[in-house]
């Protein structure tokens, strides 16, 4: 049988979760859903080789919201650890699963976007190489100009590799 003290502490935990953490978690999850929908659209329509401001803003916004949701989940975990019921534990587990699902989807989308950018970059490099080769075959420009074009193409490729390294791709 549950004593009155245990019942009061369980009520206090439920009260704190319902008043503080659960609304915060739901609000953050809704914001993340909205941001993820925007990000999905960017990923599905993006074909350029560069990151743009919108993409960077959405990514940093999602990162920030994921961290905030993780903090709320950690706070809920601390409260549940201090003596929660099966229902409280189930609520926490559900919010942890939502966070995990959103995080995995974000990483998957970001990886897909980076792969598209890399593909577009490689195609652009190939087109540039092909134009340079045609110019040489047709005798357009001097050999020095052809070397300068090739050097510029290599520099662009190297710069993209360095940018990808900095982003952890």
- 114-164, pLDDT tens digit by residue? 888 888 878 877 777 767 666 666 655 566 666 777 777 787 777 665 555
Rounded to two decimals, the pTM is 0.62
| Pair of tokens at residue 29 | 């999850």
Report the distance separating Cα 122 and Cα 44, nearest Å: 19
Q: Is 60 helix (H, G, I), strand (E, B) or coil?
A: helix
Specify the residue for token string 């390294």.
Answer: 165
Residue corresponding to tokens 């005798």: 139
Which tens digit of pLDDT belongs to each residue from 78-109? 877 776 666 677 888 899 999 999 999 999 99
Confidence label for 4 from pLDDT (cuts 50, 70 and 90): very low
- Residue 164 to residue 119: CA distance in whole angstroms: 13
pLDDT in tens, 37-81: 999 988 888 666 566 788 889 999 999 999 999 999 998 888 777
Tell me how far apart the alpha carbons of residues 65 and 62 are, in angstroms, rounded to a whole number: 5
């Amino acid at each position: 049988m549950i004593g009155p003290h245990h019942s009061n502490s369980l009520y206090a935990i439920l009260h704190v979760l319902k008043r503080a953490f659960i609304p915060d978690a739901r609000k953050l999850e809704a914001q993340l859903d909205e941001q993820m929908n925007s990000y999905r659209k960017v990923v599905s329509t993006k074909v350029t080789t560069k990151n743009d401001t919108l993409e960077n803003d959405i990514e940093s916004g999602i990162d920030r919201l994921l961290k905030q949701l993780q903090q709320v989940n950690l706070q809920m975990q601390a409260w549940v650890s201090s003596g929660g019921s099966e229902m409280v534990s189930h609520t926490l587990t559900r919010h942890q699963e939502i966070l995990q699902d959103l995080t995995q989807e974000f990483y998957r989308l970001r990886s897909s976007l980076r792969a598209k950018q890399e593909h577009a970059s490689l195609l652009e490099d190939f087109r540039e190489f092909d134009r340079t080769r045609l110019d040489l075959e047709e005798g357009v420009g001097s050999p020095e100009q052809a070397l300068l074009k090739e050097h510029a193409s290599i520099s662009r490729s190297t710069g993209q590799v360095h940018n990808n390294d900095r982003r952890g791709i």
